[in-house]
């Protein structure tokens, strides 16, 4: 039995723009099922692959405020009740995130082992991954800061490298002191690294005793610790979340844990890992790690491929047909279609930058927008009107609100909705409708056991999501979130 509990610290930040148009700021790649192994998302797989570890405690998750309900819902779906979900008001890289986690984990005088993981990695061999974690426990218990180095399969130029003090081999159960970290090399240098047998890819995963990491953080970057401690001391409870205080956290240096500690400490160790790891950093990387058919194709969703080879074809809505094509990535979503040479898929980030600079909504959000009560999807729009499809989860409720510039007509197509209008309540069933005039104080709830599906027709001089005056909200959303109904 492990002497100390093992707390997973799952870092849920990042926007994954290299997997656009699927991954966007409003719903990044870690919240999508990408591996083809069922419906589990990358975040859910990150937690599930730990099942069976000795002394495993409930996870501590750190995420962007905007994604908090997505994280909570995905944990609920797999039956996990997190130790805490910490909300970052602003991104400050991994050193502050690790610091906050260590402070939170030791707040009651405990000193657990912390296993720091990214929510957006793919690991094919979960058993081998657990074996490596168990192999690193004794070193971590003794005060070492253990990182997992991925055994290279090619002279990859897209990853940072870790040089061990001596040669490493796949399957070894021992950690080796770290000689140095190296930034992304050119191909010739990467080939030299592989020839030595001492270099592994930097996975960004760590195992250490909370007190050992805190001591090094205090010694090497005391300003990070002081800012994070202040942000935690001034945090506020928000339902099932802990919201870090914005002003204190904003003062924290933006620095990675590698730079802040691991490149400077004498306590670093690297343990080799050969478990089918990928950071899913591009569509070509996802093709490489996915199961392919006899023609080398990865087919996801409503897809037909004829006389096509070595393609990644994915449909989220409409039929996608690949006919006589080779080495392509084709990804269809509700509002965009990507067609790319698989060898050029990394360059998608330049397209995303163009979209963001031009203010195009496709750069950051999908038509389907997730909310704590469910989701809505933009269907169509015209001059002074638009249509949305709304889905409300059983037992959920939108905020009590009103609009200055628009009226709404609701038609229920599935389930039963409870509609409140200026203090009067009414049940609306399938094929029934109601009208919400401009200025009416109203709320939509689902008192039933199945989702309510509804068509909303908005009309008025202004239809922006910021035309909302909120009076009550069961999800604790602040006035800063008025554009989130």
pLDDT in tens, 455-476: 999 999 998 888 888 888 887 6
User: What are φ and ψ of residue 245, in 5° steps?
Assistant: -65, 125
Q: Which residues contact 382 (CB under 8 A, 6 or more apart)?
A: none
Beta bridge partners of 165: none
Distance CA 122, CA 281 (A): 10
Place 482 in a pLDDT band, splitting at 50, 70 and 90. Answer: very low
pLDDT tops 80 at residue 480: no
What six digits make up the tokens of 146?
A: 């253990």
Residue whose entry in the numeric block shows the structure tokens 């109601």? 434
Instruction: Report the pLDDT averaged over residues 246-274.
Output: 94
The predicted structure's pLDDT at residue 37: 62
pLDDT tops 90 at residue 286: yes
Place 485 in a pLDDT band, splitting at 50, 70 and 90. Answer: very low
The predicted structure's pLDDT at residue 163: 92
Instruction: Report the pLDDT averaged over residues 336-351.
Output: 93
Place 108 in a pLDDT band, splitting at 50, 70 and 90. Answer: confident
What six digits make up the tokens of 160?
A: 């940072």
Whether the CB-CB separation of 97 and 13 falls below 8 Å is answered with yes
CA within 13 Å, CB half, 247: 2
Place 197 in a pLDDT band, splitting at 50, 70 and 90. Answer: confident
Q: Which residues contact 226 (CB under 8 A, 6 or more apart)?
A: none
The rounded Cα 371 to chain-centroid distance in angstroms is 15
Q: Tell which wins on pLDDT, 21 or 239.
A: 21
pLDDT tops 70 at residue 430: yes
Instruction: Report the pLDDT averaged over residues 287-303.
Output: 94
- The pLDDT mean for the chain works out to 91
Separation in Å, CA 351 to CA 20, 355, 358: 9, 6, 11
The predicted structure's pLDDT at residue 43: 96
Handedness of CA 103, 105, 111, 112 (dihedral sign): negative
The predicted structure's pLDDT at residue 139: 95
pLDDT tops 90 at residue 478: no
Sketch out the chain's domains with CATH numbers. 6-278 (3.90.550.10), 291-347 (no CATH), 368-481 (2.60.120.10)
The predicted structure's pLDDT at residue 107: 87
The predicted structure's pLDDT at residue 346: 86
The predicted structure's pLDDT at residue 483: 43
Distance CA 281, CA 485 (A): 33
What six digits make up the tokens of 127?
A: 């058993």
User: Percent of the chain beyond pLDDT 90?
Assistant: 75
Whether the CB-CB separation of 113 and 137 falls below 8 Å is answered with yes
Q: Which residues contact 344 (CB under 8 A, 6 or more apart)?
A: none
What six digits make up the tokens of 174?
A: 């021992």
The predicted structure's pLDDT at residue 1: 43
pLDDT tops 80 at residue 158: yes
Q: Tell which wins on pLDDT, 327 or 361.
A: 327
pLDDT tens for residues 402-429? 999 999 999 999 999 999 999 999 999 9
**Could you tell me which of 376, 379, 378, 402 has the C-alpha nearest to residue 390?**
376
Q: Measure the N-to-C terminal CA separation of the chain; round to a whole number of Å.
A: 48
Number of neighbours of residue 437 by Cβ within 10 angstroms? 14
What six digits make up the tokens of 465?
A: 């999501």
What six digits make up the tokens of 103?
A: 């402070």
Distance CA 23, CA 279 (A): 14
What six digits make up the tokens of 250?
A: 């904003």
pLDDT tops 60 at residue 484: no
Instruction: Report the pLDDT averaged over residues 120-146.
Output: 95
Report the 3 state secondary structure along the chain.
CCCCCEEEEEECCCCCHHHCCCCECCECHHHCCCCCCCCCCHHHHHHHCCCCCCCECCCEEEEEHHHHHHHHHHHHHCCCCCCEEEEECCCCCHHHHHHHHHHHHCCCCCCCEEEEEECCCEECCHHHHHHHHHHHHHHHHCCCEEEEEECCCCCCCCCCEEEECCCCCCCCCCCEEEEEEECCCCHHHHHHHHHHCCEEEEEEEEEEEHHHHHHHHHHHCHHHHHHHHHHHHCCEEECCEEECCHHHHHCCCCCCHHHHHHCCCCCEEEEEECCCEECCCCHHHHHHHCCCCCCCCEEECCEEEECCECCEEEECCCCEEEECCECEEEEECCCCEEEEEHHHHHHHHHHHHHHHHHCCHHHCCCCEEEECCEEEEEEEEECCEEEEEEEECCCCECCEEECCCEEEEEEEEECCEEEEECCEEEEECCCCEEEECCCCCEEEECCCCCCEEEEEEEEECCCCCCCCEEEECCCCCCHHHCCCC
Q: Which residues contact 110 (CB under 8 A, 6 or more apart)?
A: 5, 210
pLDDT tops 70 at residue 170: no
């Amino acid at each position: 039995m492990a002497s100390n509990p093992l707390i997973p610290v799952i870092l849920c930040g990042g926007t994954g723009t290299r997997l656009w148009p699927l991954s966007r700021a409003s719903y990044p790649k870690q919240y999508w099922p990408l591996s083809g192994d069922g419906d589990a998302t990358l975040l859910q797989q990150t937690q599930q692959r730990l099942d069976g570890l000795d002394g495993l405690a409930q996870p501590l998750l750190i995420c962007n405020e905007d994604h908090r309900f997505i994280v909570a819902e995905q944990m609920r779906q797999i039956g996990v009740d997190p130790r805490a979900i910490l909300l970052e008001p602003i991104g400050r890289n991994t050193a502050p995130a690790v610091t906050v986690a260590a402070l939170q984990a030791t707040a009651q005088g405990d000193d657990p082992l912390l296993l720091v993981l990214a929510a957006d990695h793919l690991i094919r061999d979960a058993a081998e991954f657990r074996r490596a974690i168990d192999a690193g426990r004794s070193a971590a218990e003794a005060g070492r800061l253990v990182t997992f180095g991925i055994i290279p399969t090619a002279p990859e130029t897209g990853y940072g490298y870790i040089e061990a003090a001596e040669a490493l081999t796949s399957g070894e159960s021992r950690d080796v002191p770290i000689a140095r970290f190296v930034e992304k090399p050119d191909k010739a240098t990467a080939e030299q690294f592989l020839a030595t047998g001492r270099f592994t890819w930097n996975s960004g995963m760590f195992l250490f005793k909370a007190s050992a990491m805190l001591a090094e953080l205090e010694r090497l970057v005391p300003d990070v610790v002081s800012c994070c401690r202040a942000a935690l001391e001034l945090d506020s409870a928000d339902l099932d979340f802990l919201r870090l205080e914005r002003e204190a956290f904003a003062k924290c240096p933006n620095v990675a844990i590698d730079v802040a500690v691991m490149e400077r400490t004498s306590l670093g160790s690297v343990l080799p890992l050969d478990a089918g790891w990928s950071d899913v950093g591009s569509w070509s990387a996802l093709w490489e790690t996915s199961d392919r058919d006899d023609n080398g194709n990865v087919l996801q969703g409503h897809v037909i491929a004829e006389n096509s080879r070595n393609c990644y074809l994915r449909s989220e809505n409409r039929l996608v047909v690949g006919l006589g094509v080779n080495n392509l990535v084709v990804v269809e979503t509700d509002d965009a279609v990507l067609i790319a040479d698989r060898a050029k898929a990394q360059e998608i980030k330049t397209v995303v930058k163009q979209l963001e600079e031009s203010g195009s909504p496709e750069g950051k959000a999908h038509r389907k927008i997730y909310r704590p009560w469910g989701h809505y999807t933009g269907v169509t729009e015209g001059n002074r009107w638009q249509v949305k499809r709304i889905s409300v989860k059983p037992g959920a409720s939108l905020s009590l609100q009103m609009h200055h510039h628009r009226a709404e007509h609701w038609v229920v197509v599935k389930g039963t909705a409870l509609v409140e209008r200026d203090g009067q309540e009414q049940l609306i069933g399938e094929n029934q409708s109601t009208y919400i005039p401009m200025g009416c104080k109203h709320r939509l709830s689902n008192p039933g056991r199945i989702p309510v599906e509804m068509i909303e027709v908005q009309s008025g001089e202004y239809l922006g999501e910021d035309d909302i005056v909120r009076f009550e909200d069961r999800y604790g959303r602040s006035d800063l979130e008025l554009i989130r109904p």
